[in-house]
Amino acid sequence: MSFTIHGIGVSGGIAIGHAHLVSHTKLEVSHYDVPAAQLAEETARFDRAVNTVRSELEELRGSVPAGAPAEFGAFIDLHLMILGDTTLSVVPRAIIESEHCNAEWALKIQTDELLQQFDAIEDSYLRERRTDVIQVAQRVMKALSGQPGYVPPPAGDSDRDLVLVAHDLSPADVVLFKQHQFASFVTDLGGATSHTAIVARSLNIPCIVALHHARLLVRENEIIIVDGSQGVIIIDPDPRVLAEYQLRQREFGLERQKLKRLRDTPARTLDGADIELHANIELPGDVALAVESGATGIGLFRTEFLFLNRPDLPGEDEQFEAYRKVMEGMGGKPVTIRTYDLGADKQIDDTARLAPNPALGLRAIRLCLTEPKRFITQLRAMLRASNYGKMKILIPMLMNASEVDQALQLLDQAKLSLDAEGVAYDRNIPVGGMVEIPAAALALGLLTKRLDFLSVGTNDLIQYVLAIDRTDDTVAHLYDPLHPAVLMLLSHIFTTANKARIPVSVCGEMAGDVALTRLLLGLGLRQFSMHSAHLPDIKQRVLKTTLADTLPITKKMLRATDSAKLHGMLDKLNA
């Protein structure tokens, strides 16, 4: 019988294949008393299980395929770190000894205790690391039971497309996907910012998370359709639905091929305006996709990802190598590197746990200015890499003139220190600021007078204008890029920057939404930066747009206050 389950689509496209179920990760945990004379053997059994898991993870680490996204290795390192932490590898031994219980029960007690601590954390990024703790604990539990960790089907079994159906998947398991070429994977657990979702996007296969009961309801080998764009799976579809999706899949594939042919076509409107389409990246490994998509530059390199999922901070040389790799990969095309935007949902230490409202707290440039040494380390690494192409430095979350001045002073200090060492760098490196706090957007002069370019972070700008926490799904329906206040603010930013002859781009998600391309063009935007996967679609829309036609409708949209009318006008603009 055919049925449908809805979840959160985290990577678009359509996959049709046979379900391959990954065994349920939750194991029954038995509890029994261990006589005093056997406690030493019980703790030794626990140590052996931890060592087995360590070897498994190290083996996985060694088998990361060349060319796999860099975060794969980082995920395994994170799991090794969790495993090595005394809270998981030592405390259960003490529980075995004090409670005279079996190793499984001791591990369960300690894991439950840890998870309770995670539940009390308000920060969504940190809360999602709870999943990593569960995955590591379950690996140890499996090792105690004599079962190995997740083992994929034999390599080379690619005569049919497999859709992996799991209750949950650890990022370490996902590493193996590259070798096994699954068509798609779907999971019961996970959020849009979970590691699994991040990896899915970089694998570029359809993926859905948060399906809740898929692992229970789907049977091995059943035909399953995954519509990653709509976040829906259809199990055992009837022939009519299957034929419909096969057609859509072919159309999607053809469309992708067709769009690929646009790679080297300049993004020019029908009335001859040249539009810059750049790519957003998180790690150096993303450059290949950016080049393939036809990006004429990197508009946003979110460097803070180099700082996550690790116990230490990346040093100057490590950062320099990462930045150099991006510069060289782009072969002289412009690369905009953002100084780290840590804090809020991307934490490297415990400070956010104490912050009552991390999104309004010590984040991005605010954090950088409280840690000048760490900031200068990054600036030096960037300057050193500026020799390898055309770099621009971008500073996030600026709000007042003093922050800009302090950041520029620290940049000067970094330059002086390199001068003293005789190290070369681009002396005319442009410095820009992100416009993502309403105060900076309204009083834009404080940025245009001091900086060489601007980039609008619409993700945060909308969050702060509408007072909607972008990580909170209970208010996600109120997050509205078409709100009149957002449109007015964007129009003000573009008009003011254009008058001041300061280049301005948008690097928030709005830039990659094809429904908003003509609106942004009509408001005066000429530079867009987005995830590589969206770039061909946006280019196609630009190629089919006459700027002069967009102006009268966008002008009217700026005067409208009624949401239904605004949507009607947007439809007209896109017709």
Query: Could you list the residues that contact ligand PEP (CB under 6 A)?
Result: 300, 302, 341, 436, 457-460, 507-508
Q: Which is nearer to ligand PEP, 302 or 392 (CB)?
A: 302
CB of 466 to ligand PEP, least distance (A): 13
Query: Residue 206 or 508: which CB sits closer to ligand PEP?
Result: 508
CB–CB of 431/398 below 8 Å?
no
Backbone dihedral angles phi then psi of residue 54, each to the nearest 5 degrees? -60, -45
Q: Do residues 433 and 440 lie in contact, with contact meaning Cβ atoms separated by under 8 Å?
A: yes
Cα separation, 196 vs 72, whole angstroms: 10
The backbone torsions φ and ψ at residue 506, rounded to the nearest 5 degrees and listed phi first, read -115, 130
Instruction: Give the C-alpha separation, 543 to 269, whole Å.
Output: 5
Least distance from C-beta 144 to Mg ion, angstroms? 44
CB 375 to ligand PEP: min, Å: 17
Binding to Mg ion in span 350-389, by CB under 5 A: none
* Residue 136 partner contact from Mg ion, ligand PEP, none using kind-dependent CB cut-offs of 5 to 8 Å: none
- Residues of span 458-477 touching Mg ion by CB under 5 A: 460
CB of 259 to Mg ion, least distance (A): 28
The CB-of-433 to Mg ion minimum distance in angstroms stands at 12
Partner touching 527 among ligand PEP, Mg ion, none, CB below 5 to 8 Å by kind: none
> How far is Cα of residue 263 from the mean position of the Cα atoms in its chain?
24
- Whichever of 463 and 496 has its CB closer to Mg ion, that residue is 463
Return the H-helix or E-strand segment holding 185.
strand 184-187
Residue 303 interacts with, from ligand PEP, Mg ion, none (CB under 5-8 Å by kind): none
In whole angstroms, the minimum distance from the beta carbon of 398 to ligand PEP comes to 12
| Dihedral-angle region of residue 467 (phi above 0 means left; psi in -120 to 50 means alpha; beta otherwise) | left
| Chosen from Mg ion, ligand PEP, none, partner binding at 168 (C-beta under 5 to 8 Å by type) | none
Q: What x/- string results for residues 399 through 438 when contact with Mg ion is judged by CB under 5 A?
A: -------------------------------------x--
The reply to whether 457 sits near Mg ion by the rule CB under 5 A is yes
Burial class (CB in 10 A: 0-12, 13-18, 19+), 61: middle
Q: Where are the alpha helices (DSSP H) in 63-123?
A: 71-84, 86-89, 91-99, 103-119
Closer CB to Mg ion, 457 or 524, in the complex: 457
| β-sheet bridge partners, residue 232 | 6, 227
Q: Of ligand PEP, Mg ion, none, which one sits near residue 380, judging by CB under 5 to 8 A according to partner kind?
A: none
Nearer to ligand PEP, 399 or 553 (CB): 399
Query: Is 57:172 a contact under the CB 8 Å cutoff?
Result: yes
Q: Which is nearer to Mg ion, 68 or 393 (CB)?
A: 393
Place of tokens 């200068």: 376
Active site (catalytic) residues: 195, 507
User: Structure tokens of 318?
Assistant: 């490590």
* CB 529, min distance to ligand PEP, A: 8
DSSP string, 233-256: EEES--HHHHHHHHHHHHHHHHHH
* Rounded least distance, CB 395 to Mg ion, Å: 11
Nearer to ligand PEP, 109 or 397 (CB): 397
- Partner residues linked to 164 by β-bridges: 20, 185
* C-alpha distances out from residue 90 to 22, 95, 113, 139, 277, Å: 30, 9, 14, 16, 52
Q: Which stretch binds Mg ion (CB under 5 A): 15-23, 169-177, 405-413, 450-458?
A: 450-458
Q: How far apart are the first and last CA of the chain?
A: 39
For residue 458, the partner it binds in ligand PEP, Mg ion, none, with Cβ less than 5 to 8 A by kind, is: ligand PEP
Query: Tokens 């799904």, residue?
Result: 473
CB 435 within 8 A of CB 455: yes
Nearer to Mg ion, 228 or 457 (CB): 457
Using the minimum distance from each CB to ligand PEP, give the nearer residue, 458 or 496. 458
Contact 365, 397 (CB under 8 A): yes
Alpha carbon separation from 559 to 226, 308, 510, 556 (Å, rounded): 41, 43, 20, 5
Query: How many residues are listed for the chain in this entry?
Result: 575
CB of residue 71 to ligand PEP, shortest distance in Å: 16
Contact region with Mg ion (CB under 5 A), list: 47-55, 107-115, 418-426, 449-457: 449-457
- Angle between the N-to-C axes of helices 39-62 and 103-119, in degrees from 0 to 180, rounded to the nearest 10: 60
**Token pair listed for 95:** 């529980």
E strand or H helix that includes residue 5: strand 3-6
Cα–Cα distance measured from residue 328 to residue 385, given in angstroms and rounded to the nearest whole number: 9
Residues making contact with Mg ion (CB under 5 A)? 436, 457, 460
